Amino acid sequence: MHVTKPHHQLQMSEPELRIVDEEMLIEHARHDPDAFAVIYERYADPVYRMCLRAAGDPDVADDLTATVFLKAFERLDNYHPRPDSTFRAWLFAVARNALLDYWRRNRRVISWGEEEIVIVDQAPGPEEIALSRISLAEVRTVLATLNNRHRSIVEFRLSGLTTQEIASALDMSIPALKSAQTRAYASIRKHLAPKGATL
Selected from 37, 163, 164, 197, the binder of other proteins by CB under 8 A is: 37
DSSP labels for 87-117? HHHHHHHHHHHHHHHHHHHT-------TTT-
From residue 143 to residue 182, the character string flagging contacts with other proteins as x (rule: CB under 8 A) and all else as - is ----xxx-------xx------------x-x-xx----xx
CA distances from 136 to 53, 91, 129, 160, 186 (A): 7, 24, 15, 18, 19
By CB under 8 A, name the one of 48, 87, 92, 156 that touches other proteins: 48
Q: What part of residues 12-31 is at the interface with other proteins (CB under 8 A)?
A: 20-21, 23-24, 27-31
DSSP code for 193: S
Whole-angstrom distance, CA of residue 64 vs CA of residue 58 = 10
Does 7 interact with other proteins (rule: CB under 8 A)?
Answer: yes
CA distances from 94 to 5, 24, 105, 158, 190 (A): 41, 20, 17, 16, 30
97 touches other proteins by CB under 8 A: yes
Q: In whole angstroms, how close is the CB of 48 to other proteins at the nearest point?
A: 4
106 makes contact with other proteins (CB under 8 A): no
Whichever of 1 and 111 has its CB closer to other proteins, that residue is: 111
187 is an interface residue for other proteins by CB under 8 A: no
Residues 112-131 that bind other proteins (CB under 8 A): 127-128, 131
What minimum distance in Å lies between the beta carbon of 40 and other proteins?
Answer: 5
